[in-house]
Amino acid sequence: MGRHTLDPEGHVIPVEEFEAGYDRLLASLAEAGTQLILIEPFLLPVNGVVEAGAALIGDKERKDWRTDLDPKIQAVRRLAGKYGAQLLAADGMFAELAATPGPEYWAADGVHPTPAGHAALAAAWLRLVA
């Protein structure tokens, strides 16, 4: 979820709609007594032009994604607080990890985790639930 959040027609979903939809989902889960763990979206600052699915992503696209993503990260944090959910702060975690050996090690395109990125997410998840 590190890239733009898109509706079925491919339009960027505004943060208000993103948060409202997420809130509706969480409300029904919380009402059922489900213990929640939310993972905030993330984007790693990889360099150069990379492939993300069928798209070629460069610095401009990553800047646009970051502009779209930051308010959605805040929305996820608000919802975690509202529902008493644990929060896996993935954007901050990956920002720290990216210092060494570099962001591409964790997510080659900045969005989709590599095996090392998946392992880091799994380890962080386990620390929350242990």
Q: Is 1 a domain residue?
A: no
C-alpha to C-alpha distance for 46 and 59, rounded to whole angstroms? 9
Confidence of residue 1 (pLDDT cuts 50, 70, 90): very low
pLDDT at 30: 95
Question: Residue 103 burial by CB count (10 A; 0-12/13-18/19+): exposed, middle or buried?
Answer: buried
Q: Is 7 a domain residue?
A: no
Rounded to a whole number of angstroms, the CA Rg of the chain reads: 15
pLDDT at 5: 65
Q: Is 10 a domain residue?
A: no
Q: Is 5 a domain residue?
A: no
Q: Find where tokens 């979206």 sit.
A: 41
Q: Indicate whether 25 pLDDT > 90.
A: yes
Q: Is 9 a domain residue?
A: no
What DSSP designation does 109 have?
Answer: T
77-118 pLDDT, tens digit per residue, is 999 999 999 999 999 999 999 988 889 999 988 888 999 999
Q: Is 2 a domain residue?
A: no
Cα 72–Cα 45–Cα 51 angle in degrees, nearest 5 = 95
Query: Averaged over 40-64, what is the pLDDT?
Result: 81
Q: Is 72 a domain residue?
A: yes
Q: Is 109 a domain residue?
A: yes
What DSSP designation does 7 have?
Answer: -
Contact in structure between 20 and 26 (CB atoms under 8 Å): no
pLDDT at 8: 56
CATH number for the domain including 66? 3.40.50.1110
Share of the chain above pLDDT 70, in %: 90
Domains contained in the chain, number: 1
Average pLDDT, the chain: 88
The structure tokens listed for 108 are 């080659």
Confidence of residue 7 (pLDDT cuts 50, 70, 90): low
From the list 71, 64, 72, 65, the residue with the least C-alpha distance to 112 is 65
Query: pTM above the 0.85 mark?
Result: no
Domain hosting residue 49, numbered range: 15-129
